[in-house]
Amino acid sequence: MKPIFLLSPTPLNREGLIHIPTIEIEYLDIYIDFSNIDYLIFTSKQGIRSIDRLSPQWKNIPALVVGQKSSDEVERLGGKILEIGKGYGAGLVDVIKSKYGNYKFLYIRPEKVISDFGSLPNVREVITYRTRCKNSYPIPPNSIVIASSPSVVKCLLKREIPNNTIFVAIGETTAKTIPAQFQTFTSSKRDLDSCYKLAKELANSPYPK
């Protein structure tokens, strides 16, 4: 069976899964102005955890979140949910345009992002955390790699990766950051458990397609 590696900074305790985080999270100590805000935007669990360190006030403001796992984290920490997206940041932009154009949002974001919330006039952004690359275990040939975000892929690609590496991407945005020479599969759901199940199927298949 092919070895399965998880690049996420958050570990997942599953049989045969090897955790090799390629990024680490640095939370920033900043002041957040919650005035004149109707709703929050979260596109990752790191964003939720970063704001929870700074102020309990965020729990009183309903949040638009990227997927179910982010929703679970908001509720675990005592926050409120406005709506759950379909697992990618770009989709939230469409939701805001179509349903919440008259409301003001605060996007809790990392230093580098792909989603273009900044183009919306009713969205204010605040950077509460950043990611940086971390030295990690080299990927051996014939491995399967679970990629949980564009950032983990970019950091992994700073080193040489065997061409027969197979990627399992957590979503379409992450899949687009993986070079075309690698065989890439995208999970049907945007969570690590779904990625792991797909990776297990591929690991047991001699010729994944």
pLDDT tens track for 4-34: 999 988 888 999 999 999 999 999 999 999 9
User: Who contacts 158 (Cβ-Cβ below 8 Å, separation ≥6)?
Assistant: 133
Higher pLDDT, 173 or 168: 168
Q: Provide the pairing of β-strand 105-110 with 81-84.
A: unpaired
Tally of structural domains, the chain:
2
Q: Nearest-CA neighbor of 151 among 111, 191, 117?
A: 111
Strand locations in 53-180, DSSP E?
Answer: 63-65, 81-84, 105-110, 123-133, 144-147, 166-169
Higher pLDDT, 209 or 190: 190
Cα(69)–Cα(89) distance, integer angstroms: 14
- What's 119's domain CATH number? 3.40.50.10090
Predicted confidence band of residue 88 (pLDDT cuts 50, 70, 90): low
Please give the average per-residue pLDDT across 203-208, as a whole number: 73
Strand locations in 134-179, DSSP E?
Answer: 144-147, 166-169
The pLDDT score that the predictor gives to residue 117 is 74
Please give the average per-residue pLDDT across 50-68, as a whole number: 95
Predicted confidence band of residue 189 (pLDDT cuts 50, 70, 90): confident
Please give the average per-residue pLDDT across 40-53, as a whole number: 94
- Residue 184's H or E segment, with its range, is strand 183-186
The pLDDT score that the predictor gives to residue 53 is 96
Same structural domain for residues 17 and 109?
no
Which domain covers residue 143, as residue numbers? Answer: 4-22+134-203
Paired tokens of 176: 């687009």
Query: Does 74 have pLDDT greater than 90?
Result: yes
List Cα–Cα distances, 123 to 2, 46, 68, 76, 171, in angstroms: 44, 19, 22, 25, 24
Paired tokens of 35: 């005035």
Q: Are 195 and 148 in contact (CB under 8 A)?
A: yes
Same structural domain for residues 34 and 127?
yes
Provide the 8-state DSSP code for 191: S
Same structural domain for residues 122 and 36?
yes
pTM: 0.77
Same structural domain for residues 49 and 112?
yes
Task: Name the average pLDDT for the chain.
Answer: 90
The pLDDT score that the predictor gives to residue 204 is 85
Query: Does 175 have pLDDT greater than 80?
Result: yes
Please give the average per-residue pLDDT across 93-109, as a whole number: 93
Q: Are 45 and 69 in contact (CB under 8 A)?
A: yes
Residues 108-166: pLDDT tens digits? 999 887 667 767 899 999 999 998 998 877 899 999 999 998 889 999 999 889 999 99
The pLDDT score that the predictor gives to residue 178 is 96
- Which of 88, 108, 131 is the last residue before a domain boundary? 131
Domain-located, residue 141: yes
Domain-located, residue 209: no
Predicted confidence band of residue 75 (pLDDT cuts 50, 70, 90): very high
Domain-located, residue 182: yes
Query: Does 186 have pLDDT greater than 80?
Result: yes
Same structural domain for residues 95 and 32?
yes
